[in-house]
């Protein structure tokens, strides 16, 4: 079976450029704090996945069915209003 096609893939975009666009300002500050903590905890630099996901590291998995994909073990989505309070 072919590798799954997900919209969220490493995009090469700058994480800080994305975080600068996060609103409101409180959410942006929280996102920077979370970025710092996640990099320290995971030991991995952040990478943009798609337009709005900040991922840390990646892993490739394959099910017995043959379906496979590459994904992130942990991530942030600070542009999502449910991610943090305003």
Q: Which residue has the higher pLDDT, 12 or 37?
A: 37
Q: Which residue has the higher pLDDT, 25 or 82?
A: 25
SS3 content of the chain, % helix, strand, coil (to 5): 30, 25, 50
Tens digit of each residue's pLDDT (9 = 90 or more) over 20-36: 999 999 999 999 999 99
Could you state, in order of their start, the residue ranges of all structural domains in the chain? Answer: 15-76
Rounded mean pLDDT of 32-45?
A: 97
In whole angstroms, give the CA distance from residue 36 to residue 55: 13
Tens digit of each residue's pLDDT (9 = 90 or more) over 50-68: 999 999 999 998 999 998 8
């Amino acid at each position: 079976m072919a590798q799954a096609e997900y919209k969220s893939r490493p995009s090469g975009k700058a994480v800080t450029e994305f975080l600068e666009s996060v609103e409101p300002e409180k959410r942006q500050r929280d996102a920077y704090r979370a970025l710092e903590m996640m990099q320290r905890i995971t030991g991995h630099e952040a990478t943009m996945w798609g337009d709005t996901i900040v991922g840390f590291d990646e892993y490739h998995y394959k099910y017995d069915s043959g379906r496979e994909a590459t994904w992130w073990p942990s991530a942030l989505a600070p542009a999502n209003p449910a991610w943090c309070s305003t």
